[in-house]
Amino acid sequence: MGQIFKIHELERDDDLGVVKKQISSFNQTFSFESPVVSQRTTRFDPDCQRVKINEIVRQIDEKVVVSLSTKTIKAFYDEVKADRIDGKLNATIFNFKFDDVPDNNSLKILAHALHSSSQNAMFLPTVKTSFLQETIPGHKKGVFRQEYTPRKIERYLDMMKTLVGEAQRFGNGIEIVGTVPFIPFGFVSPIIDYYLSENIRAFAIDANYKDIMGNLGDFTLILSKINDSVPLNEALICAFNAGIPRFDANESVSNDFLSVFAYIDVFGGTFKPRGGGVEPPAKLFSRDRYAYKRMTYASVSRQLGQSMNYVRLRRYNRSEQLKESLKIRNLVGIERMKDYLQTKPAINQNAIKRLEAIAKKVKVG
């Protein structure tokens, strides 16, 4: 397995799961420190200089497969390359929108497209929840439910093995990042086992809109499973598609961002589209409170002094979180992160205890 990431621990916090690391490439094309927030940006964006990890997201469905089959992979590659930024880790993330595994011919085409369109790191694709579930008859006639099944997990693993196997044929010039679906541990465990058997040491947890901190047991089991084979201070752990918990009145603690205090090196964006076609309510992130405030887009626009919609507000929130991740990195090893969190009005003792529990259960180094 090709490995190009150089991972070096710089500092750590004694109470919480915050490890400051230097992550760079052997070919010296990028270097950054964690914890950090990734962001979709362009070379013309004001945040471009602060952004260390540039997300490039591609939705992959049957139409894309047909296009790759009937045209050229180079056209797909050229589109992705146009979104790259020099000096950054360009994380090309592929969201498979299939309900089941494509045929072998399509998988091989996709493997070549994914590999050629990835720079330094090939993120294995994320999938829909239905991809990992089967429709099972319920107790009542005519009633069905969706359940995770070993058969679907095996098909998922077969797909990943094909993608990894094809990628390995190209040589060792790229790091494989194993995508870990945030599903019950009994089903995700064999997936992690496979990645570990391939000496993969970079992982991307796909929360699929779940609240990670609200599913503490499942989260710590995933971290512990990886840590047993690859110490977390020697691994790269990303998290994407983290959900925001329910609002208490008009405010919700930013549990998604709190994952950077729980061994997450890269807090990634939300790129899986949600159904409904209706613009989600406005949620404004506060660095001072560590919370989201539910507002109208009109009120957010007035507060920020610029016209805001869902896309612009998402970008603003990510920019604020990017700035906050820099502050956290600068404090690790200098100030106790527990004391720093206690300055945030939305963070209560229960939230801090949950973070402390993760650090105690997952012993690193």
* pLDDT tens track for 102-117: 988 899 999 999 998 9
C-alpha span between 108 and 88 (Å, rounded) = 28
With 60 as the cut, is the pLDDT of residue 129 above it? yes
Tokens 């330094």, located at residue: 120
Domain 5-361 CATH (choose: 3.40.50.300, 3.90.320.10, 3.40.720.10, 3.20.20.105): 3.20.20.105
Given a cut of 60, whether residue 91 has pLDDT beyond it is yes
Which DSSP letter does residue 225 get? H
- pLDDT in the model for residue 235: 95
Residue 180 has pLDDT above 90, yes or no: yes
- Work out whether the CA dihedral 324, 271, 124, 122 comes out positive or negative: negative
Note the pLDDT tens digit of each residue in 264-304.
999 998 877 666 567 788 999 999 999 999 999 999 999 99
Checking if the pLDDT of 137 tops 70, the result is yes
Question: pLDDT tens digit string along 196-231?
Answer: 999 999 999 999 889 888 888 999 999 999 999 999
* Nearest residue to 113 (alpha-carbon basis) of 78, 142, 160, 150: 78
d(CA 338, CA 179): 30
Q: Is a pLDDT exceeding 70 seen at residue 152? A: yes
pLDDT score for 275 = 60
339 burial type by CB count under 10 A (0-12 exposed, 13-18 middle, 19+ buried) = exposed
What's the chain's average pLDDT? 90
Q: Could you read off the pLDDT of 2-58 as tens digits, one per residue?
A: 678 999 999 999 899 999 999 998 878 899 999 999 988 877 776 677 788 999 999
The whole-number average pLDDT for the span 88-110 is 91
Contact 282, 249 (CB under 8 A): no
Helix 185-197 vs helix 216-229: angle between axes, to the nearest 10 degrees?
20
Count of CB atoms situated within 10 Å of the CB of 159: 23
Confidence band, pLDDT 50/70/90 cuts, at residue 237? very high
pLDDT, mean of residues 79-107: 91
In DSSP notation, 321-348 reads HHHHHHHHHHHTTTS-HHHHHTTSTT--
Confidence of residue 172 (pLDDT cuts 50, 70, 90): low
For the chain, give every domain's residue range: 5-361
For the residues 110-133, what does the mean pLDDT come to?
A: 91
